[in-house]
Amino acid sequence: MPIPVSKPYLPNREKLNKYIDQIYESGWLTNNGPLVRQLTKKLEEKFSVDNILLVANGTLALQIAYRTLLDTQNIETTSEALTTPFTFIATSNSLMWEGLTPVFADINKTDWCINPDNIAANITKNTKLIVPVHVFGNSCEIEKIDKIATEYGIKTVYDASHSFGIQYKDKNILQYGDASVISLHATKLFHTVEGALLRFKRKSDFEKAKQLINFGFNQDKEPKSLGINAKMNEVEAAFGLAAIDDINEIIAERQHIADIYEEHLSSNPHIEQINRSSNQAYLPVLFRSGTAASEVLKKLQEKEIEAKRYFFPSLDTLEHLNSLSTCETSQDIANRILCLPIYTGLSKDKIQTICNCINEIDLSHQQCI
C-alpha cells in the first residue's frame, strides 16, 4: 500500500454537511458570502488580528500583497524584492509575475530561513520589499528583519504559508510585517481545499486589497481601479469552518508523529537534523550528504513511500529567476533535505516501516561527519 507524503485533512462529514446545507438554503456560492465572512471573523478572533482577507490561493495572495504595497506606498513596479532562495517556487514566481525582481539573500544553517545579515548586505537603492518565508513553520528572525526594514524604509511581506498557528514572542505570526500570507492549500495542516489568508497591518492596505481581489470594484461596486478575481468561494469556506475547531488536535497528532520519527531516526548516523516546529507542518529531515538523501529517496520510492525534495533546487539556480547571487547554504540544504510523510491518521506501524526502510539502507560507503 503506497504511503503519500501528505493527505488532506477531511473534516467531519456531518459538520461539513451543515455548512453545505446553508449554501443550498441561501443559494449564495461566492462573492464575499456569509461563510467566507464567518470564517474570516473566526480567524481574526483566533489570532487576535484584524484586516484579514480570504483569497483564492497563496500565490495570488502574495501577488495581491505586493500590488497593494506598490500602490499604497508609491513603489515602482520594477523594484527589487529581497527574498529567500529556500522556498516553494511560488514565493519568487509571484514577485516576477508582478514585474518585481527577486534578489536572493542566503539562509541560516539551522532554521533555513533568510539570514538578516545577508538581507542587510544586499540592500540597494532599488530594494523596496523584503519577502521572508517562515519555512516549514520555523519563524524567521522577525525582530532583526523588521529593524532593518524600518531603518531603510522597506516594506515586508511575510510568506507564512507553512505557519498556521505559529506564535513568535507570544504573538501570532500574523501580527508581524506590513502583510502576511498563509496558504490554505489542501496539503496544508489547515486548509480550505484551495485558498489563502492575507493579513495587512494597515486598514488602508486592507481596503485597497479588498478592491484588488474583486475586479477593482469600490464600495459602490463601480470598477474604479485595476483589479483581478482572487476571491475565496463559499464551498472552500465551508471546509475551513468545518475543520477550524479541530486545529489543536491536528497539530497535537502531528507532534506525536514527529516524536515517533525522532525516536526511530535520531540515532541514524547519516541524519544531521530532524526539524521540529511548533505546528509540524512538514517533517523535514536533513541528511549529512546529498548522496545519502538521494539514496534514501530512491529506496523509499521502490517501497512506494513518497518523500519530497521540498525545496529543491535552490531558487538562485533557476534560469528564469535570473539570480545574480549564489546562495551556498541554500544550495547545500536543498541538496540534503527530504520531507517524510506526515498527515492525520498516519499510523505508528507505517512510521515504523518508513524508519526501518531508512535505517536499513546501507550507506556505509557514505562518509559520516
CB of 312 to ligand T4K, least distance (A): 12
Taking the CA atoms of residue 309, residue 315, residue 318 and residue 323 in that order, the dihedral angle to the nearest 10 degrees is: -170
Nearer to ligand T4K, 66 or 88 (CB): 88
Closest to ligand T4K by CB, 40 vs 268, is 40
Instruction: Give me the 140-159 binding string for ligand T4K, x by CB under 6 A, dash otherwise.
Output: -------------------x
CB of 350 to ligand T4K, least distance (A): 14
C-alpha cell at 350: 507505517
Using CA atoms, how far residue 149 sits from 25, 172, 269, in Å, is 48, 20, 41
Q: How far apart are CA 106 and CA 197, in angstroms?
A: 27
Q: The dihedral of CA 123, 129, 131, 132: what is its sign?
A: positive
Site for ligand T4K in 305-344 (CB under 6 A): 306, 308, 310
The residues, ordered by sequence, that sit 6+ positions from 191 with a Cβ below 8 Å of its Cβ are 8, 9, 184, 185, 239, 240, 243
Quickly tell me which residue has 506501524 as its cell: 349
Q: How far is the CB of 51 from ligand T4K (least distance, A)?
A: 20
Name the helix (H) or strand (E) containing 93: helix 90-97
Nearer to ligand T4K, 262 or 306 (CB): 306
Nearest residue (CB) to ligand T4K, 261 versus 363: 261
Q: Which is nearer to ligand T4K, 8 or 313 (CB)?
A: 8
282 closest CA partner among 313, 303, 299, 306: 306
Give residues 164-183 in contact with ligand T4K (rule: CB under 6 A). 183
By CB under 6 A, name the one of 8, 34, 290, 313 that touches ligand T4K: 8
What's the rounded Cα separation, in Å, for the pair 68 and 53? Answer: 13
CB of 210 or CB of 308, closer to ligand T4K: 308
In the complex, least distance from residue 369 CB atom to ligand T4K, rounded to whole angstroms: 29
Q: Should residue 161 be labelled a site residue for ligand T4K when binding is judged by CB under 6 A?
A: yes
Q: Which stretch binds ligand T4K (CB under 6 A): 52-60, 72-80, 137-145, 170-178?
A: 52-60
- Binding map of ligand T4K across residues 84-113, x = CB under 6 A, - = no contact: ---xx-xx----------------------
Contacts 24+ apart (CB under 8 A), 172-175: 172/47, 172/48, 172/49, 173/134, 173/139, 174/47, 174/49, 174/52, 174/199, 175/47, 175/48, 175/49
Q: Check binding of 187 to ligand T4K (CB under 6 A).
A: yes
Q: How far apart are CB 56 and ligand T4K at their closest, in Å?
A: 8
Contact 274, 262 (CB under 8 A): yes
User: Least Å distance between CB 205 and ligand T4K?
Assistant: 19
State the DSSP code for 98: T
Please check whether residue 105 is in contact with residue 237, taking contact to mean a CB–CB distance below 8 angstroms.
Answer: no
Q: How far apart are CA 240 and CA 185, in angstroms?
A: 11
Query: Does 79 interact with ligand T4K (rule: CB under 6 A)?
Result: no
Q: Is 186 in the site for ligand T4K (CB under 6 A)?
A: yes
Contacts with ligand T4K, residue ranges (CB under 6 A): 4-8, 57-59, 87-88, 90-91, 133, 159, 161-162, 183, 185-187, 196, 306, 308, 310
